[in-house]
Structure 1
Amino acid sequence: MRSMTGFGQGVTAVDHAEVRVTVRTLNGRALEVRSALAPALMNLEPSVLEIVRPRIHRGRVDVRADLEITATMDDDGSEHLRGVDRLAETLDKLRFRYGVQAPLSLDHLLHAGAMMQVEAAMTPPVVRLKGALESALEDALHEVEVFRDREGTILRRFFEDACSRLEQLVGAIADAAKGAGCEMRQKLEDRVGRLLTEAEFAGATEERVASEIALLAQRADIEEEIQRAGMHIARLRELVGPAQGPGPVGKRVDFMLQELLREANTMAAKSSRAELTHRVVDAKAIIEQLREQAHNIE
């Protein structure tokens, strides 16, 4: 079981540059990949999607990739920088020829596009950039997976502890519900006995009255709900257990919690004892806590 929250970084050097990739993952109902790539890397977005989608199945994924030119005057890119020097000399000669008093500045070179030409010349070929981007992305995703696995272990412990508490509460609910049907039946018989003495109910047969009492008592019985709740808790343990593996289970966990909450609501509606109602309310509180945490399970 994995969390949907994660963070990772990767850096790969290529020629006179470095590709830096940052990956952040957040909660989400479905997989949503958002990428922010440097201009030289924008055409490689399909490669990003091909790598991310098989690794992450659910949640929002933000991928940022930057390209940093690391060449200096002493690197192989010095020839391109010498071209800037020649451009500066030419501009300086033009300044003297036409009597321009203002000194030559870096803004003049930038306006002439010299630096952009140097950066473009030093940018590695797309094929090499693709390999560097994929390598850095793989490293970042590995860190993300380690992060998500660690958070998933914490979530698993929380769910296992909550399941133990729910099992205890279901047992307490079963104990509190013992005899509830008989108690309800006795109350109904006493009440109906008083009503039968009144004139408007004098024509009712004992068989009809007994049938209605049995039906109402059966509706107050929660034995089936208790059994189903126990089955749901057992299934929940299987889904969050280590034997389930690293695959996505978040949607199935959320579904089981909905079913468990439905059983708890039915038990609360049928409850006629204060002790039983209190136990059901405690169980519902734990289920709601689990539903909040389930939003972070992949």
Structure 2
Amino acid sequence: MVVSMTGFGHSSKEIDSSLITVEIKSVNHRFLDINLKMPKQFMSMEDRIKKLISKSVNRGRVEVYINFEGESLAQRSIQIDWNLLTQYVQSLQQLKERFSFHDEITLSQILSLGEGIDIRDEATISEKIETVLLQTVEAAVKQLTDMRQIEGQQLAIDVKNRLAAMSEIVVNLEKLAPKVVDQYRERIEKRVTEFVSGKIDENRILTEVALFADKADISEELTRIHSHIHQFQESLQADGPIGRKLDFLVQELNREANTIGSKANDGKIAKDVVELKSIIEKIKEQVQNIE
């Protein structure tokens, strides 16, 4: 099945009084590139989320947006540096004794230190939240892959139609190619006749025509184009990622078309080559989106 690299998926799931929302979008890319944007409390889940996505997506740049609404995931806690505070109190006591201060050491003085007491947010995710998060990602990925498959089917139909049009042009070129040699022979005979008053060196003409036929021969290029089209059609029926192979075949088709164009000594052939290259370019654009 042909799969597109372009798609979108969305899913939301409630958990207690909170809501987890996942949005995934993908575009074409040479390899699989997954980028996650989510609350820092979920960062410990990054590898598991990427592995889950990579089970269904083989190529493309995938952007994942995860949002959490509801009670904070962070648990706040107080961290006290007892050693630092002990030194601070001892130092104040020494100051009092040395300079005969009578002020009492108060809690506000200790708190004014600004250090020693730290309030921290500890990221803690319950097993329940982890499970719901992965379920939400999985549902969004399902939407994404469904959309990629639907678009892939449309791409396959379009490419098959263009391959059929290309095959018709190749068949027409096969009919035109021999006529080019015959027409060249007629032109040579006409020119020679005009210059030698009807006396024609048949061997010289045969030699010239043979040289021209060898230079203008496009039979090998047409045979290879037929082969590439057949491989293209087979690949469209194959399972798994096929985009890179199709991209290679497009390059080969384009190379053969360019070679035929350089050999073309006929207006009709040149016209068909222009149409052939136009079709190949349109196929190339579609192949860029195939996984």
Bucket of the pairwise TM-score, normalised by the shorter protein: 0.7 to 0.9
- Deviation of the 1:180 alpha carbon: 2.1
- The equivalent residue for 2:33 is 32
Alignment of 1:41-80 (within 5 A): 41-69=42-70
1:154-165 to 2 correspondence within 5 Å?
Answer: 154-165=154-165
Aligned position for 1:149: 149
CA distance in 1, matches of 2:179, 2:24: 58
Q: Indicate yes or no: 2:237 matched with 1:236.
A: no
Alpha-carbon distance change, 68 to 213 in structure 1, aligned in 2, over 3 angstroms: same
How far apart, in 1, do the equivalents of 2:256 and 2:191 lie?
29
Query: Normalization by structure 1: what TM-score?
Result: 0.72
The answer to whether structure 1 residue 275 and structure 2 residue 271 are counterparts is no
Instruction: Work out the CA distance in 1 between the residues paired with 2:279 and 2:189.
Output: 37
Relative distance call for 1:178 and 1:278 in structure 2 (3 A) is: same
| Equivalences for residues 58-137 of structure 1 within 5 A | 58-69=59-70, 125-137=125-137
Task: Tell me: CA distance 1:125–1:253, structure 2 relative to 1, closer, same or farther (3 Å).
Answer: same
SS at match of 1:64: strand
Q: Does 1:291 align with 2:246?
A: no
Tell whether the 8 Å contact from 2:188 to 2:205 is kept in structure 1 after alignment.
no
- State the alpha-carbon separation in 2 of the partners of residues 215 and 54 from structure 1: 58
d(CA) in 1 for partners of 2:188, 2:44: 76
Which SS does the other structure have where 1:57 is aligned?
coil
Counterpart position of 2:140: 140
Shift of 1:41: 1.1
Q: Which residue in the other structure is 1:94 paired with?
A: none
Deviation per CA, 1:114-142, whole angstroms, max 9, x where unpaired? xx99xx89x97342222111111100000
Corresponding residue for residue 178 of structure 1:
178
Offset at 1:32? 0.8
* Aligned-partner residue type, residue 275 of structure 2: D
Q: Higher helix proportion, which one?
A: 1
Gap regions ≥5 residues in structure 2: 76-118, 197-201
| CA deviations over 1:10-46 (Å, ceiling 9, x no partner) | 2233333222111100111111111001122122111
Which structure has the larger Rg over C-alpha atoms?
2
Q: For the Cα contact (< 8 Å) 2:152–2:290, is it kept in 1?
A: yes
- Whether 1:263 aligns to 2:259 is no
Please name the residue that 1:17 is paired with. 18
| 1: CA distance, partners of 2:6 / 2:271 | 35
What CA distance in whole angstroms lies between the structure 2 residues aligned with 1:124 and 1:20?
Answer: 19
C-alpha distance after superposition, 1:145-176 (max 9, x if no partner): 11001101110110111111111111111122
Contact 2:181 2:212 in 1 (8 A): no
SS at match of 1:28: coil
Identity of aligned residues (%): 30
Corresponding residue SS for 1:41: helix
RMSD between aligned alpha carbons? 2.9
Does the CA contact (< 8 Å) of 1:182 and 1:217 recur in 2? no
Cα distance between partner residues in 1 of 2:194 and 2:213:
18
Q: Number of paired residues?
A: 242
Helix, strand or coil: the match of 1:11?
Answer: strand
- Greater strand percent: which structure? 2
**What secondary structure is seen at the aligned counterpart in 1 of 2:150?**
helix
Per-residue CA deviation, residues 75-123 of structure 1 (Å, 9 max, x unaligned), is xxxxx9xxxxxxxxxxxxxxxxxxxxxxxxxxxxxxxxxxx99xx89x9
Q: Which runs of 5+ in 1 are unaligned?
A: 72-79, 81-115, 197-205
